[in-house]
Structure 1
Amino acid sequence: MALEKRGFCGSWPNYRTPCTSSEGRLCNIFQDLPLLNESFWSVGFELRELSPGQVSLVQVPEARCCSGKAKVKEAAKILHCLLTHHRCIVSVDLNDELLKRHQQMICGALRKCVSLRKLKLCMPGYATKASLRIVSRLPQFSQVLEVVLSGVPVDRRSAEGLSTFLADTRSLTTFNMADLYIANENATVIMQGLKQNATITTLSINTNLMCRELSECCSMLSGYLRVNKTLRTLSVKSPFRNSLSDLHVITGPLCHNTTLSELNLIGMNLDLWNYGLITGMLGNNQTLKRFHMVDCFHDDYSIDTNPGVRALRDGSSPFSMWLVALAENEALEELTLDLSWIEPDDCDPLFKALARHASLRKVTIQTIGDKCVAHSCRAIRDTGVRERFFVAKHHVSEDTVVELPECRELSSVGVDYSNSERESELLNNALLLLPTCNHVKSLSIRMREASFKGSVSSLIVAYINNTKALRELDLSFIHQACTAFEPKQALLQALSSNKTIRRLSIDGTSFDEAETEMLTNMMLSSRTLRDVSLPNDYHSVLSLTRKLSTEISKNLSLLRIDVGPFDARCVGDKFAIADVVRRNDTLVMRAAHFVTGTRHKFCAAAAERVQLSPGLVMKVQELKSIDEEEAVSLIKCSLKDIVSLDDFMRLAGVVKDTVSCHRRDDGQKQLSDLNIDCWLHIRQYLNLDDILNSK
C-alpha cells in the first residue's frame, strides 16, 4: 500500500499509527493533518477539526483540482486507514468519485468505525452504481447518529435499503433528505420506513413528498407527523421557486402534534390559502416554540389556480390571519416571517400584536415592501421592545433611500441601481446618506464598473475610510467588455485603513500588479478581517495566491479566503492558503469551546493565541446564542482562568490542584513563593503551548 510522495512538499504523512486520543488530549494524527490534506485536497476534500479533538472529512468546493485515478486511490486508502485505526474520526463526507472504484473498501471501514457519528453523501444527481449501492448499504452503518443525503438518486433497491435503515436504526437522531429528489412509488417505500422510526429528532425533507400525485405518500407523511413522539425539529424545503407549495399535508397533522418544538419552511411560494393553513396551525398548536419562514415569498396571483384562495379572498388577508393566530397562540418564542404582503396601515397593529405576545422573544422580518419600510421601522420603535425585532437585508430603492437615516432598524442594506440609466445619480444620493447611518453594519453595492469614477468612487472611498460601524462589505461590479477596468488603488488604500470590516467580498473586477500587492498586504496585516472573497478575479489570481501563500502563516485572523477561480498553475499556493485558514478556524473553534466551558489544555492554548480575533467573538456568539457585547465579556472572564500560577499549571497538566514546593534548606524562594506581579512578568514569555505533554 505504498503511496506516491506528496505533490506539494514531498513529505510522507504518518497515519497508520494507532489512535492516541483521550479525554483532554489530542491524537498524534493532528500534527500530520497538513500532510494528509495534500492527498484529500487533490480530490476535493479536507480533514478538519469541527469540535475539540474530533476529525471530520468534509467536501471542499474550492478544492477543484484535476485529480487522476492514482490520486483518488491514494485518498481512498488513507481514508480506509484512518477509519480503521482512529477513533477520533467522527464524520465523513463522500462523493461519487471517491466511491465508484473503492466502495467496498470504504464501506467496510465505515461499518467497523465505532466512532463514526455523521455520514454525508454528496452525489451528482444522476444514477451511478456507486451512488445507488451506498444508499442500499445504509443499514450496515448502525452506529451513525446523523445522515445527510444530497443529490443522491434513488431506485427501487436503494429505496428499500433506505427504508430498512430508517425502520431498524436505534441510533439515528438527525436525517436530512431535503436535497433528495424521489419520484413515484420510491417515495412511498421510504415513507414506510420513516413511519416506523422511533429515534429521529431532527428531520429535513422537501416538498416532493407532498405532491398530490403521491397521495399514498402524502397520507403516510401526515400520519407520521400526527402521531410521532420523538421528532423535535422539522424542516421542509421547496426545490422549485416558481411552484406553489401545498402545505395541508403537514399543517393538518401539526395541529394535533404535541412534541414538535421547531418548524422551518424554506423557499416556499405561499398564497393566501397556505397562509390560512399556517396561521390556523399556529393557532391550534400550543407546543411549537420556533417557527421560521426562510426565503419564502408571497404569491398574490394564485386566485385563478387555487380555488381555496377564491373562497378566502372576500374577507381575509395574511394580516387578519396573523392577528388571529397571534391572539390564539401562547407558545411561540421565535418567529421568522415574510412581510412583503403588508400594507402601511397594517404595520402598527401587527407589530403591536407581536410585541404583546407573552412568550415571543425574537422576531426576524425577512422582507418588507418598499412602501412599508419606514412604517414598519416606526412601528417596531413604538412597541417599546425594539430588541426583540431583527430586520434582515433590505434592498434600498430609489424611492426609499431618503428614509434610510430614519430607519435605524435596518442593519443590513443592499444598493443596486445597475439597471437604471440614472445609476451614477442614484448611487451618489445613497452614498451621501450612508455616513449618517451608523446603524448599517452590513452593506452590499452592485454597480457597473464604468460608474466607479468621479464622485461615486470618491464617496465610496470616503465612507470606507471614515465608518466605524460597518462590519460586512460586498462590492459587486458589472464589467462590460468595451470598457477598461477602473483603477482601484484608492479603494484598496481605504480598505487597508479600515479597522472595523470583518467580511469583505469584491466581485466582477480585476487588479493590476500594484493593486494586487496592496490587496495582499491588506489581507496579511489586517487583524479584523476574517472572511475575504475575490471569487472571479481571473487576471490576478496567480500573482495574488503566490504572494499570499508565502506570508499568510503569520496571520491568525483569516477564517475564510476565496481567491479566484480554479487554475492548475496555483494549486499548491491555494492549498497553502487553505491550510492556514483551516489552522486559524481550528484555533478559533478550540478557543470558543474553552470560553464556553471546555477546560482542555489545547483549548486554553488556543484561547491564548486568538483572544483578540473577531472570529472568536462570532464563534462564542454562535455557541452560546448571545450578542456581541455578551460574548466579549465572556471571553474576558474566561481568560482570567489562566492568569494565576495555580490555574496555569493546572491547565497545563503540571499539577492536579495547586503548586507547592518542598522548602529549600538555604531558604531561597521557590516557584510557589512568587507574587502575582512576578508571575505575570514570567507569563509574558511563557505560553501553554510551551509546556510539553506528559508521555
Structure 2
Amino acid sequence: MEAIQDLSAEHEQPTVAASADVVDDMTSFFGGQEELRCTSDKPTAFNDNRSCPINDVLPICNELLFDICMELREKRGGLLSLVCFPTDEPKRIPPRNVDCQRSKKSLLWLLRTHGCIEKLKLRCNWMTVHSCILLELTEYSRLKRLKVDCPCGDTVKRNIVTLLSRLVHLEELHVYVSEKSDILVAAISALLRNTACLTSLVFRAHSENQLSQTFIHALATNSTLEYLEILGKWDTAEPPGPFWSYVKSNELLSKLYLFGEELDHEGSLLEEALVCNYHISTLYIHKVCGGERTVNVLTRILAECISLKNLTLGDSRDEFNIISEAALNGCMNVLVVNNTLEELELSYSLWHPTNWITFLAFLPNNKHLKTLEVTSSFYPDYKMYLPVLEALQQTNSPGRISFGCYMPTTVELDLLRFRAFSGVCIEGALKEKVDTLQSLLTLNHLTSVVIDSRECDQQLFDCMAKYIKEKTVLRGIILFISNTAGDAPAACWEPLFESLSSNTSIRYLRIIVRGHFSYAGHLARAVGRSRSITQMFYEEYRPEWDPSGFLSPLSRELDENYNLLEVSLSNTAKMDAETTCCWFKVREVSRRNSGLVKRAGAAIQSPTLDWYAANALEKVSRRPVLVRELAEKEGLAVDEVAKMLRSRLVSVDGMNDFMRLTGVVKKAVMCAPPVDGCNFQIQDLNVDCWRLVRRYLSFDDVKRCPVAKPDDPMAE
C-alpha cells in the first residue's frame, strides 16, 4: 500500500468539475462502445440474466485501476465488486501522478455509469486518500454489500456517513471502527431504523468502547436483520439490557456472533435472552467464563434453543476446571435428546480432561450431531490427551469428532493413530522428522501438515516428496525453509517440486523462507503447473526482498491455469516496474478463475444462459478442483454439483446453440449453396460428429463478434 501512502493530497483530490468529462473520455477509450454503459435506462446486469458487457474488458479496467490499488471482480448474476488490495500488499514503486489521475478517472467513470457494481470493499489506507470519490456513486447504484475498515479522520467519516445515507438497496454492511466514532454509530443507527433491505450487519467497535444506547435502541427497532456480528464492551456493572431485550424478542435473527470478554458472566442476561429466542440457528460466543457457570449456560441453550443448528463456545477464562458430576450429566442428558444441533465447537479448556472422557462416552447417544470440533488456542500438554483419545476410540465415531491440528514439540505417533487430529506439525530433530514422515505414510486421515525444514538432508527431502506424492487426502501444506535447507542441492528439491505439481488433492500451499530462496522459480513453475492448488502464499523472511524470482516464472505458467484462485506475498516484498507487471498478471488470472466459479454458481440456477455463463459452466465442469470449490460455496455434494453442471451444459450442447452463444449466427446455422462440387457442409454434421468436434472446441476458442445484421441473408 506504499503507492497509496506516498500520494499527496493536493494531487489526489481533484474537483468534480475537473473530472466532468470522465464519462466521455472513458467511453472513447473503450472504442466508443456505448454498450459498456450500465445506466438506469439500460441496467445491463439486470436484464434477462445477462452479464454486463464490461466483463469483456475487465483486464483493461483493472489495469486502469491498478495504480490506486483497486480491482473489479465478478460476482454472481453478472454483477461486479470493487475491492481494495489487501493491507499486506507487497510494496511497489509509487506510480506517476499522471497514472494516478488516469486511475482515478477510471474509478469515477465506473461509479457514475455502472449500477451493476454490487459490492464495495474498502480498506483503511485507501479510505484516507480517496474516500471523497465514493460520493460519485451513481444514484441508480444497486450496491448491496459494503465492507469498510474505518480509519481516523473526520473527513473520511463524513464521507462514509454521506455514502450510507444514499445506499437504499444495501443488504450487507461490514464496519470495523478502530476508535470511538459517534458520527458513524449515529449513521449506522439511522440505517438500522430506516432500512427495508439490510439483512446482515457486522459491527466491530474498539474493544474498549461500550455499545451506545443509540445503537442498541436502533437494533431493537430494526425489522430486517437476519445476521448480526457485533464486538463491544460488555463487562460493565450495568449490562446493556436493551440489547438482550432485542435478542430475546427478535423473530427474524437467525445468525448471531458475539465478540467480547466473558459474555456469559453472572448478570449478563445472555442466558435469558437466548433461551427465549426460538429462531436463532447459528450462535457464536467468542469468550466465556468457563467452569460450571458456562456448563449451566450451555445446558440451557441445548435444552431451550429449539432452532439451533450450529453452536460455538470460544476460549474460557477459567481453564480445565473439574465440573461436578451433576452439572455435567445435566448437560449431557439434554444433548442426548437434542435433535436439531448439527455442528458443535468447544474449547478443550472448557473443562477438565476427566470431564471430556465422560462427555465423549455420552456422545454416541446423540445420532443427530454431525460434527464436534475441539479447539485449542495454545500448545497444550498432549500427555493429558491420551486417556481422552482412548475414550474417544471407544465411541466408534470416526470423522465425526476432530481435535484440530496436532502441534507438539515432538510428535507422539501413538496419539495420531486415534484419528482425532486433522493436521500435524512436524518439527524437532532431523531423525524425528524423518521417522514421523515415514510413519505418516500409513495414516490416511490427516488433511493438513506443517513441516519445519531446517536441514540440508537428502533423506528428509525424499521423505517429504514421497509423503506429498502419495497422500490423496492432503488439502494443505505449510513449509518452513531455513537458509540451510534453501541452499540444498537441486537433487533434493526437484522431487519435492514434482510431488507438489503432480498431487491432485492439495489446495492450500504456504511457503515461508528464512532468507533468500534460490529455487523460487522452480517452486513457481510447480505451482503454475499444478491442477489442484487454489491458494498460494509465498514469503521470504527478510526486509524488502525481491519477489521477481518467484513472480516472473509464475506469470509465464498461468495461461492455461484455471485452478489458482488466490496468490499472496508478504508486505516485506518490494517490486520494481517489471515485477509489478508480473504481479498484475498473476492477480488477473486468479480474478478470472474466481469469476468463473461465481458465474457458474449463478448459471446452474439461471433459466437462460449467455456466452459468459456457458463458458463458465464449461470451464468449471472440466476441472475437478473448481467443481469441488463450487460445491463448497453452494453447500452441496461434489457429485450433485457435477451433475447440475452437466445438465445445464446439455441445454446448450447443440451446434446451433454453440454458434448462437459465440455470436457466429443469430439463430441457427444455415450455409450458402455449396461450390466446386463440395456437398458436405458444417450444417450436415450429425450429433455424434459435433460432439467429437466439441471435445477440442471451447466457447472461448471462438473470437466473439457482433451477430449479423437482421437484413443479412445469412443472419439465420
Q: Could you state the TM-score of these two structures normalised by the residue count of structure 1? A: 0.82
8 Å contact from structure 2 (residues 178, 205) kept in 1: yes
1:410 to 2:417 alignment: no
Of the structure 1 ranges 593-602 and 329-338, higher mean CA displacement relative to structure 2 is found in 593-602
Q: Shift in Å at residue 226 of structure 1?
A: 0.8
| SS of structure 1 residue aligned to 2:308 | coil
| SS of structure 2 residue aligned to 1:626 | coil
Q: Shift in Å at residue 579 of structure 1?
A: 1.2
Structure 1: how far apart are the matches of 2:366 and 2:244? Answer: 29
The residue that corresponds to 2:434 in the other structure is 428
Inter-CA distance 39–155: structure 2 relative to 1 (3 Å threshold): same
Structure 2: how far apart are the matches of 1:416 and 1:582? Answer: 35
1:277 to 2:297 alignment: yes
| SS of structure 1 residue aligned to 2:346 | strand
1:610-643: per-residue Cα shift (whole Å, max 9, x none)? 4343441332222332345555565556555554
The residue that corresponds to 1:533 in the other structure is 537
Unpaired stretches in structure 1, ≥5 consecutive residues: 304-312, 418-422
Which structure 2 residues correspond to residues 140-155 of structure 1 after superposition, within 5 A?
Answer: 140-151=166-177, 153-155=179-181
Select which of 364, 371, 375 maps to 2:373: 364
8 Å contact from structure 2 (residues 551, 583) kept in 1: yes
Select which of 106, 124, 134 maps to 1:78: 106
The residue that corresponds to 2:507 in the other structure is 502
Unpaired stretches in structure 2, ≥5 consecutive residues: 1-18, 39-43, 709-716
The residue that corresponds to 1:230 in the other structure is 252
Select which of 690, 695, 703 maps to 1:679: 690
8 Å contact from structure 1 (residues 136, 158) kept in 2: no
Q: Shift in Å at residue 276 of structure 1?
A: 2.7
Select which of 225, 229, 234 maps to 1:210: 234
Inter-CA distance 588–29: structure 2 relative to 1 (3 Å threshold): same
The residue that corresponds to 2:493 in the other structure is 491
| SS of structure 1 residue aligned to 2:224 | coil
8 Å contact from structure 2 (residues 336, 363) kept in 1: no
Q: Cα RMSD between the aligned structures?
A: 3.9
The residue that corresponds to 2:117 in the other structure is 89
Select which of 47, 55, 70 maps to 1:45: 70
1:581-612: per-residue Cα shift (whole Å, max 9, x none)? 21122123323444566752322212323434
The residue that corresponds to 2:364 in the other structure is 355
In structure 2, what residue type is equivalent to 1:172? L
8 Å contact from structure 1 (residues 338, 366) kept in 2: yes
Structure 2: how far apart are the matches of 1:318 and 1:593? Answer: 49
8 Å contact from structure 2 (residues 295, 327) kept in 1: yes
Select which of 574, 580, 583 maps to 1:574: 583
Structure 2: how far apart are the matches of 1:617 and 1:315? Answer: 48
8 Å contact from structure 2 (residues 253, 279) kept in 1: yes
1:139-191: per-residue Cα shift (whole Å, max 9, x none)? 332221111102354433333222222112121111111x3227557622211
Inter-CA distance 619–432: structure 2 relative to 1 (3 Å threshold): closer
8 Å contact from structure 2 (residues 157, 184) kept in 1: no
Q: Shift in Å at residue 358 of structure 1?
A: 5.1
1:175 to 2:177 alignment: no
Inter-CA distance 492–167: structure 2 relative to 1 (3 Å threshold): farther
The residue that corresponds to 1:315 in the other structure is 324
1:385-408: per-residue Cα shift (whole Å, max 9, x none)? 64544553332553632332x223
The residue that corresponds to 1:309 in the other structure is none
8 Å contact from structure 2 (residues 511, 537) kept in 1: yes
Structure 2: how far apart are the matches of 1:128 and 1:588? Answer: 40
Inter-CA distance 399–465: structure 2 relative to 1 (3 Å threshold): closer
The residue that corresponds to 2:619 in the other structure is 609
Which structure 2 residues correspond to residues 461-500 of structure 1 after superposition, within 5 A?
Answer: 461-477=465-481, 485-487=487-489, 490-497=492-499, 498-500=502-504
8 Å contact from structure 1 (residues 289, 333) kept in 2: yes
| SS of structure 2 residue aligned to 1:119 | strand
Q: Shift in Å at residue 15 of structure 1?
A: 9.3
In structure 2, what residue type is equivalent to 1:210? W
Structure 1: how far apart are the matches of 2:492 and 2:632? Answer: 35
| SS of structure 2 residue aligned to 1:507 | strand
8 Å contact from structure 2 (residues 199, 225) kept in 1: yes
Q: Could you state the TM-score of these two structures normalised by the residue count of structure 2? A: 0.80
Inter-CA distance 683–315: structure 2 relative to 1 (3 Å threshold): closer
8 Å contact from structure 2 (residues 323, 351) kept in 1: no
Inter-CA distance 380–135: structure 2 relative to 1 (3 Å threshold): farther
Select which of 265, 281, 290 maps to 2:310: 290
Structure 2: how far apart are the matches of 1:135 and 1:32? Answer: 32
Structure 1: how far apart are the matches of 2:560 and 2:390? Answer: 47
Inter-CA distance 183–86: structure 2 relative to 1 (3 Å threshold): same
The residue that corresponds to 1:548 in the other structure is 554
1:394 to 2:406 alignment: yes
8 Å contact from structure 2 (residues 134, 159) kept in 1: no
Structure 2: how far apart are the matches of 1:503 and 1:512? Answer: 20
Of the structure 1 ranges 406-415 and 639-648, higher mean CA displacement relative to structure 2 is found in 639-648
The residue that corresponds to 1:307 in the other structure is none
Which structure 2 residues correspond to residues 244-255 of structure 1 after superposition, within 5 A?
Answer: 244-246=262-264, 248-255=268-275
Select which of 37, 41, 46 maps to 1:18: 37
Q: Shift in Å at residue 255 of structure 1?
A: 0.8
Structure 2: how far apart are the matches of 1:530 and 1:47? Answer: 20
Q: Shift in Å at residue 484 of structure 1?
A: 8.0
8 Å contact from structure 1 (residues 173, 202) kept in 2: yes
Structure 2: how far apart are the matches of 1:568 and 1:297? Answer: 40
The residue that corresponds to 1:591 in the other structure is 600
Higher relative contact order (CA 8 A, sep 6+): 2
8 Å contact from structure 1 (residues 87, 114) kept in 2: yes
Select which of 17, 25, 31 maps to 2:56: 31
| SS of structure 2 residue aligned to 1:42 | helix
- Give the count of matched residue pairs: 656
Q: Shift in Å at residue 46 of structure 1?
A: 1.5
Structure 2: how far apart are the matches of 1:393 and 1:117? Answer: 37
| SS of structure 2 residue aligned to 1:236 | strand
Inter-CA distance 292–117: structure 2 relative to 1 (3 Å threshold): same
Inter-CA distance 141–224: structure 2 relative to 1 (3 Å threshold): same
1:472-529: per-residue Cα shift (whole Å, max 9, x none)? 211123569xx9844565234322243233322110245555x233223223322222
The residue that corresponds to 1:444 in the other structure is 450
In structure 2, what residue type is equivalent to 1:516? A
Structure 2: how far apart are the matches of 1:13 and 1:431? Answer: 59
Q: Shift in Å at residue 205 of structure 1?
A: 0.3
Inter-CA distance 317–540: structure 2 relative to 1 (3 Å threshold): farther
8 Å contact from structure 2 (residues 531, 625) kept in 1: no
In structure 2, what residue type is equivalent to 1:175? L
Q: Shift in Å at residue 223 of structure 1?
A: 0.9
